[in-house]
Structure 1
Amino acid sequence: MDSGNHTHFILAGFTLSPVLKTLVCTALIIIYILSVIGNLLTIITTSVDQHLQAPMYFFLRSLATLDVFFISTTVPKLLSVLVGTDKAINLSGCLLQLHLYLSGGGTVFYNLGVLSIDRYLAICHPLQYNTIMTSELCWKIVPCIWILGFLEFIPAILLMSRLHWGSSNIIDHFFCDTSALLRLSCSDTYVIETIVFYVACFPILSTLVLTIFSYFFIISSILRIASSSGRKKTFSTCSSHFIAVIITYGCCIFIYIRPAGTMTLGVEKPVAVFNSIITPFLHPFIYSLRNQQVVTSLRRIIKLHN
């Protein structure tokens, strides 16, 4: 294929033995199904139960919807790559997948930041919480973070669509990630790499700062609770949220908040698996299924339909 004429690429995926490939495909299918079911249960339970109409559950519904969307941008195509049925992807499909992946990931960070602020207000300012965090405000916040998340990467994607491509059309990744795709271009990609770097930094670092400050005040407030059982209950809820935050931010900072070309794809791909597949799988179990109110409501719903 001549330079600059690529319309299709081939996703290399992972080099695995037939036995290991079967095990990985089976694990991916199970993880994907459990992730979709777990997040759908969160959406349904917090939507139909009148006891779960607090702002936190509104933001959890948004996060669960994002997680279903986010994991679906990579897993179906990865499965087709692993089984060898469809490793090809055209340029438009590749850029669309990249845009959906980056936008979904960026919106997840905004959602986690909002959840952190919500927990801060609920724990540190309980008397003013209902006055500040109204349903009207929630309905303004969520559409705004979705719109911002899905618009901010469009300039970089449009610039990528104008690139010329070299002699190789093999993307050494399991999806169209930025670094793997730009390695194939024979054009100057410095401007695009810079844009992606700073645009990715904004949702990650801005919400990380909000989260750190929120949890600093949350932990300080928990330590001032006189009852040991009260401290334990509050800390149990917040600790699970904090674990999810560490995992999500850690993976993305490791992948994106660094100079281009400083990490081999052999290291980046396993971290990308954790970020794009394992994290949305863990979210419903960390945020919802460890929440006693959600579990109780889920049991109530199941009993009503039996």
Structure 2
Amino acid sequence: MGYTNGTTVTEFIILGFPSLQKLYPVLFLVFLIIYLFTVTGNILIFGTVWMNYKLHIPMFFLLNHLSAMEVWYTSIIVPKMLSNFVANSRSISFNGCMVQLYLFSSLGASECYLLTVMAYDRFLAICKPLHYSVMMTNMTSLQLASGSWVGGFISPILPVALISQLVFCGSNQVNYFYCDAQPLLRLSCSSTRFAEAAISILATGLIFSSFLLTVLSYIFIISTIVLIPSATGRKKAFSTCASHLSVVVIYYGTIICMYVQPMSRFSLETNKAMSLLYTVVTPMLNPIIYSLRNKEIKESLGNMIRRMTRTEDKKL
């Protein structure tokens, strides 16, 4: 057992979706397909950009980092969730739970920063086209992408440290499908007021600052697009940022509902449903959005698949 009365918890039991236990075989198949599609789709996007020299520009370099984040992001959550659907034991060690919480939070923060950087890249490309090649060089995009990763992995250190120092001496059953802050705080038998306040402040600051900068970038972008005299020019300018804007709306819409609120505002069941959106569904939608709405990605992906098909035909 992970605990006894009067002793601290050494492991947690991830309950997942107890009310849907009879559907676990179906859920396993559904989420396995989604996970395989997510990983395959994002790797295809990454490979398409990597193999096409014409796409070695800042916009697609940043997209590659987004694809890498999505693969790691969903891989922190889904494999463990899948194993819990079929395994008799759904336990995770205390340290393993803290590591999952930290990695998940870090990648989520990194994605916020990267989406902001991608919005800034589109702002420079559309609003300052004559200065774009000077202001957004390959080195600049590398520094911004690296800053997103580093900033993301620094941001959750304090919240995770606060949670890891809480006393867990009662139930060790986490009514969630991964180790997230809210269900863990509800399990603690010590005061969580300071931890909750710190997490809410830090999460709100991170999410709103990155979201505000992204929104400001798009206000300038849309203002500039509207002033373009030709309809063709307006359509072309908007198409370069439509994919990113779609991802921003989906991603921020869910995480703002989840984290920019008092911890107890929604029930855990409601939070589970919202968590599924940004941990499982959004990473799956990103490759679809970018492959369907981005002309360069669509053409390069088609060319790569045709080359692979011809190579296999020659081997046969």
TM superposition score normalised by structure 2? 0.92
Aligned to 1:119: 122
Aligned to 1:135: 138
Q: Which structure 2 residues correspond to residues 170-181 of structure 1 after superposition, within 5 A? A: 170-181=173-184
Distance 2:6 2:50 in 1: 52
Kindly indicate whether the alpha-carbon contact (under 8 Å) linking 2:290 and 2:297 is maintained by their aligned counterparts in 1. Answer: no
Percent identity for Structure 1 against Structure 2: 38
Q: Does 1:277 align with 2:280?
A: yes
Kindly indicate whether the alpha-carbon contact (under 8 Å) linking 1:11 and 1:175 is maintained by their aligned counterparts in 2. Answer: yes
SS in 2 for 1:73: helix
Aligned to 2:158: 155
Kindly indicate whether the alpha-carbon contact (under 8 Å) linking 2:239 and 2:294 is maintained by their aligned counterparts in 1. Answer: no
Q: Which structure 2 residues correspond to residues 79-98 of structure 1 after superposition, within 5 A? A: 79-98=82-101
Distance 1:15 1:150 in 2: 32
Question: Which of 188, 191, 201 lines up with 2:191 in the alignment?
Answer: 188
Distance 1:167 1:3 in 2: 8
CA drift at 1:133: 0.1
Aligned to 1:101: 104
Aligned to 2:66: 63
Summarize deviations over 1:3-44 as a string: whole Å, max 9, x none: 442101111101345663222221111111111011101111
CA drift at 1:158: 2.1
Report the aligned-residue RMSD: 1.6
- CA distance 1:169–1:68, shift in 2 (3 Å): same
Question: Which of 241, 246, 255 lines up with 1:243 in the alignment?
Answer: 246
Kindly indicate whether the alpha-carbon contact (under 8 Å) linking 1:80 and 1:86 is maintained by their aligned counterparts in 2. Answer: no
Aligned to 2:235: 232
Distance 1:97 1:207 in 2: 23
SS in 2 for 1:10: strand
Aligned to 1:198: 201
Q: Does 1:45 align with 2:53?
A: no
Matched AA of 2:118 = L
Distance 1:277 1:3 in 2: 37
Greater shift in the superposed pair: 81-90 or 126-135: 81-90
Q: Which structure 2 residues correspond to residues 27-42 of structure 1 after superposition, within 5 A? A: 27-42=30-45
Aligned residues: 306
Q: Does 1:219 align with 2:185?
A: no
Distance 2:118 2:286 in 1: 13
- CA distance 1:290–1:19, shift in 2 (3 Å): farther
- CA distance 1:122–1:19, shift in 2 (3 Å): same
TM superposition score normalised by structure 1? 0.95
Distance 1:198 1:288 in 2: 36
CA drift at 1:226: 1.7
Q: Where do 5+ consecutive residues of structure 1 fail to align?
A: none
Matched AA of 2:195 = I
Matched AA of 1:42 = I
Question: Which of 146, 158, 175 lines up with 2:149 in the alignment?
Answer: 146
Kindly indicate whether the alpha-carbon contact (under 8 Å) linking 1:3 and 1:165 is maintained by their aligned counterparts in 2. Answer: no
Summarize deviations over 1:191-229 as a string: whole Å, max 9, x none: 222222222223311111111111111111111122212
- CA distance 1:3–1:229, shift in 2 (3 Å): farther
Greater shift in the superposed pair: 47-56 or 233-242: 233-242
CA drift at 1:130: 0.5
Distance 1:282 1:201 in 2: 25
Matched AA of 2:172 = N
Summarize deviations over 1:234-264 as a string: whole Å, max 9, x none: 3244333222111111111101001121211
Distance 2:7 2:155 in 1: 27
Summarize deviations over 1:24-71 as a string: whole Å, max 9, x none: 221111111111011101111111211001101011011000000000
Greater shift in the superposed pair: 15-24 or 123-132: 15-24
Kindly indicate whether the alpha-carbon contact (under 8 Å) linking 2:291 and 2:297 is maintained by their aligned counterparts in 1. Answer: yes
Q: Where do 5+ consecutive residues of structure 2 fail to align?
A: 311-316
Question: Which of 75, 80, 105 lines up with 1:77 in the alignment?
Answer: 80
CA drift at 1:274: 0.5
Kindly indicate whether the alpha-carbon contact (under 8 Å) linking 2:239 and 2:293 is maintained by their aligned counterparts in 1. Answer: no
- CA distance 1:25–1:62, shift in 2 (3 Å): same
Q: Which structure 2 residues correspond to residues 1-20 of structure 1 after superposition, within 5 A? A: 1-17=4-20, 20=23
